[in-house]
Structure 1
Amino acid sequence: MKDLYLRFADSDEMRKQLIEAGFLVDEEQGELYHPDISLDVVAVITNSIGDAESVEYVTEPGYHVNLRVINDDLDLSELNGFVVTPKTPARVWA
């Protein structure tokens, strides 16, 4: 099992790339799914900087997705160009 943090330009690119990587589309819901991968769409990440008196909000570039890959034998190399390694991820798997 491994976790991947991915960043795409936008939701359209995310959808296209995940489908090319083997994700399926639920016909009723329109949601993406994969039998061997858990998908967490984080989307746009906004962080606050500063203190209580002077708070600024900064939006991280891109559209973010977390994957928990259950099957270690899956070849997801076509997603390598979208992998990021955040120091402190906005969301992690429990």
Structure 2
Amino acid sequence: MRDLYLRFNDADEMRTQLTAAGFVDDEGQGGLYHPDISLDVIGAITVATEIQNAGEENETIQYANLPGFHVNLRVTDDSLELASLDAFAVFPDSPYRVWA
């Protein structure tokens, strides 16, 4: 079993690349499916970039979106060839969301 963290430009690129990698695109029934891969679509990731007057009543927090459209894959069949997704792999120090 292995986990992959991927970043695409947008949802359309994600759908195109995952379909090319063997996912079935069944929009009418819930989206993308693969029998040996669990898909966690995260989408845009928003992070706090600046906190002004921390701890005060009038605290202001600024937010920004990280670049890209993010998804996590949990691959249960280690023999699957997914080299076509290597160009989209990212290696976060602290992933936004992980598998339990």
TM-score, length of structure 2 as denominator length: 0.88
- Aligned twin of 2:69: 63
Q: CA deviation at 1:30?
A: 5.1
Larger radius of gyration: 2
Work out the percentage of aligned pairs sharing the same amino acid.
60
Report Cα offsets for 1:43-89 as digits up to 9, x if no partner.
00001133342311011000000000000000000000000001111
- Aligned twin of 2:10: 10
- Runs of 4+ off more than 6 Å: none
Answering whether residue 85 of structure 2 is matched by residue 79 of structure 1, we say yes
The separation in 1 between residues aligned to 2:47 and 2:63, in whole angstroms, is: 6
List gaps (5 residues or longer) in structure 1: none
> CA RMSD for the aligned pairs?
1.3
TM-score, length of structure 1 as denominator length: 0.93
The separation in 2 between residues aligned to 1:46 and 1:77, in whole angstroms, is: 28
The separation in 1 between residues aligned to 2:89 and 2:28, in whole angstroms, is: 29
Task: Give the aligned length.
Answer: 94
